[in-house]
Amino acid sequence: MSSRHVRRNREHWERESPAYQERNREQLNRFDRLGWGVWDIPEDELDVLGDVAGLDVLEYGCGACQSGIRVAMRGARVVGLDVSATQLRAGLVAMEAAGVRVSVVQADGERIPFRDESFDLVFCDHGAMSFADPRVCVPEVARVLRPGGLFAFAMLTPWAWVASGEGDAVGWEFRMPYFGLHAIDIDDPSWRTTEFQLTYGDWIRLFRANGFVVEDLLELRPRPGAVSTYVGPEELPWALDYPYDHIWKVRKVGADAPPAR
């Protein structure tokens, strides 16, 4: 039996997937480059993933798998996992457009249906790590990663949550407490989800408790004049001053590396 937030989020994505895919089509379905986050900052500038050729990769909360398709184009063996059948069906259209096939599986990211140590890389771009409980996901990802494997994920920042409250545009005042950040219910008629965030200290303790070392926290800053299909131009001045989204880059301790203390 899945939990309330997983059911709520699955229902949201089954309902909203067609509108989401249409609204963000221009940004999502550009297969000529791999970008990250709401500002679509190129992987070739950020170098989050490095050389992925020959790696076993899980896209974790892949949606229509557009990122996974681009990673497959760079030579990786990619599997996309998502809880929503409608999102995965949109992936078939994206694969057709890109001329690349990747395997997909419908599953809850809190119960990854793969054996221990199946992947070299687990990644997502505002995927399962935004919509499933990190206290369950981080141990699950640690389980399916091989020693030395990379876990990289983009999500909103605690800054953005505190400055937006429950789903509004970011503003210049604090609208939500920082201490205690965890599950956040959004009840907008067209956006009814439960999303997750932790404080910076809670993230670091969670990674270390599950055998990860933090390699980087990339705070994504758009260029002046940047446009995004995800946020309106009125939010750009804020995003030039504060990180709207960021990428955690953490590595599972290798067999010969000392465990985190």
Ligand X SMILES: C[S@@+](CC[C@H](N)C(=O)[O-])C[C@H]1O[C@@H](n2cnc3c(N)ncnc32)[C@H](O)[C@@H]1O
> C-beta of 114: minimal distance to ligand X in Å?
13
> C-beta of 44: minimal distance to ligand X in Å?
18
Question: Two tokens at 44?
Answer: 């070739």
Give the integer Cα–Cα distance in Å for 156 and 114: 27
With respect to ligand X, which residue has the nearer C-beta, 55 or 112?
A: 112
Name the residue whose CB lies closest to ligand X: 63
Nearest to 67 by CA among 107, 95, 96: 95
Give the integer Cα–Cα distance in Å for 253 and 26: 38
With respect to ligand X, which residue has the nearer C-beta, 38 or 150?
A: 38
Query: Cα–Cα distances in Å, from 150 out to 27, 106, 231?
Result: 25, 22, 29
**Binding-site ranges for ligand X (CB under 6 A):** 6, 9, 13, 28, 61, 63, 67, 81-84, 87, 108-110, 125-128, 131-132
Give the integer Cα–Cα distance in Å for 163 and 167: 10
With respect to ligand X, which residue has the nearer C-beta, 55 or 128?
A: 128
With respect to ligand X, which residue has the nearer C-beta, 123 or 207?
A: 123
> C-beta of 134: minimal distance to ligand X in Å?
11
> C-beta of 106: minimal distance to ligand X in Å?
9
Nearest to 245 by CA among 255, 235, 254: 235
